[in-house]
Amino acid sequence: RKEIKCDGEILAELNRTFGSYDKFKEEFSKAALGLFGSGWTWLVYDVKKNKVEIITTANQDCPLSIGKIPLLTLDVWEHAYYLKYQNRRAEYVENFFQVINWEKVNELLNGAKNVKAKK
């Protein structure tokens, strides 16, 4: 499968924050692979800082509880990938980039920026 092209405002934000899409992908993957146990890797919009960032949360924790708006998430609980990938989390993370709906991520980013504008 071919990776879906990231474009639009989200690409501009990724370039601004991480330097390039490839650097974002590297950092996101590193965060996902470095998360011990069950949890999530997120691309969020930080309203206070007016920028995107990568965070991880354990178990059922959600970025909304710390004032960040979720744009993209990867479930790294073992149940999310074990049947297809067994213990090959790295392969699961790599393949995640082939199914991201960047159009939806752009929509969520625009909504997050509107929250900032209303405050």
**pTM: predicted TM-score of the whole model, two decimal places:** 0.86
pLDDT at residue 81, as a whole number: 60
Q: Which of 20, 21, 16 is nearest to 102 (CA)?
A: 21
Predicted confidence at residue 77, as pLDDT, reads 59
pLDDT in the model for residue 111:
94
Q: Can you point out the beta strands (E) in 47-93?
A: 51-58, 68-75
The pLDDT of residue 116: 58
Sign, CA torsion 33/38/43/46:
negative
According to DSSP, the residues that pair with 69 across neighbouring strands are 45
Question: What does the buried/exposed string (b/e) look like for 62-94 if buried means 16 or more CB atoms within 10 Å of the residue's CB?
Answer: ebeeeebbbbbebebeeebbeeeeeeebeebbe
Contact assessment for residue 41 and residue 54, using Cβ atoms and an 8 Å cutoff: yes
pLDDT along the chain (119 residues), means of 10: 82 97 96 85 94 92 92 78 61 86 95 75
